[in-house]
Amino acid sequence: MAIPTRTKEIELLQLVAELERFYTEEELDEIEETDPDRAYELARAQALAEQYGLEPGQQPATDEDLTIDHERVKAALEEAAQLLRGDGGDLELVDIDGSRVRVRMLGACSGCPSSTMDLKTIVERKVKQRVPGISEVVNTI
C-alpha cells in the first residue's frame, strides 16, 4: 500500500531536483558555519534522496511515488523494542495510518509514567530516522 509522505519531505526532495550535485560532509560543515539552517536542509534532503534512490537533479514524478516502506517501519520498531525490553517493556505495531504509526506499549511500558517520554525519545525518534515520511508515532491503548 503506497502512502504519500509529509509535505515537508516532499519539499526537501524537490530541493534535490535543484541541486547539481550532492555536498560532502566537509562542504556541509563549511555551509553550517555561515547558515546552519541551510546546511541542515541540504543534509536532510540528501539523506531523503538516498533513501528514495534519487540523484541530484531528479525528483519523483508525483507525490504518490514517495511511499512509506512498511518493512522499514517494522524494522525500526523492532530496534526500539529491543531497547525497551532492557527495562521490561515492549511494543507492538497496531497500524500505519497515512504518515502516523500507531503502536501499543506493552509490559513494563504499559502504564509507566515514563512511557510517554520513551515513546517520543526512543520509538518515534528511531522510526523517523529510519523511515522518511513518518509524522508521528502514537500509543494506542
* 74 domain residue, yes or no: yes
- pTM for the model stands at 0.60
Phi-psi region of 43 (alpha: psi -120 to 50; beta: other; left: phi over 0): alpha
d(CA 91, CA 141): 11
**How far is 3 from 6, CA to CA, in rounded Å?**
10
* Domain shared by 60 and 76, yes or no: no
What total of structural domains would you count in the chain? 2
Among 36, 65, 94, where does a domain finish?
65
pLDDT at 83: 93
Q: Based on the domain organization, do 40 and 82 belong to the same domain?
A: no
Do 14 and 42 belong to one domain?
Answer: yes
> 1 lies in a domain?
no
What tens-digit pLDDT sequence spans the chain (141 residues)?
333 345 666 676 677 777 778 899 999 999 999 999 988 888 888 887 776 677 787 765 454 555 788 898 999 999 999 999 999 999 999 999 888 899 999 999 988 888 899 999 999 989 988 887 788 899 998
Domain that holds residue 27: 7-65
pLDDT the model gives residue 7 = 65
- Indicate the residue type of 49: A
CB atoms within 10 A of CB 20: 6
Give the end of a domain, one of 49, 65, 81: 65
